[in-house]
Structure 1
């Protein structure tokens, strides 16, 4: 886990043409997305395909359940109270969780202010160079804070609801994926999808509160 220091994230939404700033406290973030191996181990079974690839076809609900399971395995307090599809976040818990959108964007930018933290071909797998397939994490250059694949390869789930008034429980996804054109692989791009969606270019990485 990489320690991400405090900062401020500015979130912009093209649909509503609104922007807002969010103060981000220090937190910890995994440098890589969760792998298929890690998902299989948490569930108690193995996989037959390339298990070092990012775990894709994982819903938001799958991701929060994984966070709680990983917390239990490491004797940490689970971050989420889950009853059916109702998920409550205990913000004081020391266990694993999904990053918020503001945390994700602050970490992705790593002190930069442009749309990307480096040359796209050097930092990301996207439609122009991926061969239209998923790749193992960490094959491209990290950002200045040691985080890999924040752009491209697979989208990341965030904890946040996108717009409850219009899209109900749809959650924010960030970063772009292996099938996306270059304009989708930018730090400020925010998309939305139903929390039950499972698709082959959507993954997640885990966060924790900083001690």
Structure 2
């Protein structure tokens, strides 16, 4: 890994997490293998360095990149992997717009939603890892815009902006029988009210068409 990326990756320990779907009231437990997760959401300077593009609505090198589709996020992960001589985790088939995730590959990827929630909670069982005003940019304190990453208090594992600022794409499909190829995103954004900015909140949308100014992503990697 390049020094900048290596320095920003945090080792997340083994464990397990219980997930819940409020729509179906279903609960399930997922075993988590230790993995690496970036301290911050991907910033605009890093995104530009890898893709030579900056699609963000709010411009600033250390602001989180946003207004990106799920496909944009996985293409970034693949390109970052290639530039670091690693095996890409995603196969993007342009002809049928299908995206296949190979979690065992050694390249960069999006976290699964189980990994994301587990890392966000950082060993606790609470819906937030601290007082909301201290840990997250949300509707009441954001002035309706994104903010530089890392300004708020991190969780116990040293991860910043897991809640608020921008939502974060995860690798998982939501419910293929009802929503087809829709992918999950987590964490809440700068324009969300308090009740939406929780470790347990799940949202989903179209992987190729949906992009908005409070949705970005964070990179993960197998150890």
How does the TM-score come out when normalised to structure 1? Answer: 0.96
**Alignment match, 1:132:** 144
Deviations for 1:85-138, whole angstroms, at most 9, x for unmatched residues? 222222221100000000000000001111100000000000011111110110
User: Are positions 1:11 and 2:19 aligned together?
Assistant: yes
Aligned to 1:101: 113
The RMSD of aligned alpha carbons is 1.4
Greater Cα shift, 43-52 or 166-175: 43-52
- Cross-structure match for 2:67: 57
Output the CA distance in 2 between the equivalents of 1:45 and 1:53.
Answer: 14
Superposed displacement of residue 45, structure 1: 5.4
Return the alpha-carbon distance in structure 1 between the equivalents of residues 11 and 54 of structure 2: 30
Moved over 4 A (4+): 45-48
Q: List alignment gaps of at least 5 residues for structure 2.
A: 1-8
Structure 2 residue 93 is matched with structure 1 residue 80: no
The TM-score normalised by the length of structure 2 is: 0.91
Cα 1:110–1:46, aligned 2, differ >3 Å: closer, same or farther? Answer: closer
Equivalences for 1:39-54 in 2 at 5 Å?
39-44=47-52, 49-54=59-64
Choose which of 66, 70, 79 in structure 1 pairs with 2:76.
66
Q: Which residue of 1 aligns with 2:212?
A: 199
In the TM superposition, residue 2 of structure 1 has moved relative to its aligned partner by 0.3
- In the comparison of the two structures, how many residue pairs are matched? 210
Aligned residue for 1:63, secondary structure, equals helix
* SS of residue matched to 1:2: strand
Unaligned runs of 5+ in 1: none
Does residue 25 of the first structure (1) align with residue 33 of the second (2)? yes
State how far apart, in whole Å, the 1-side matches of 2:149 and 2:47 are: 15
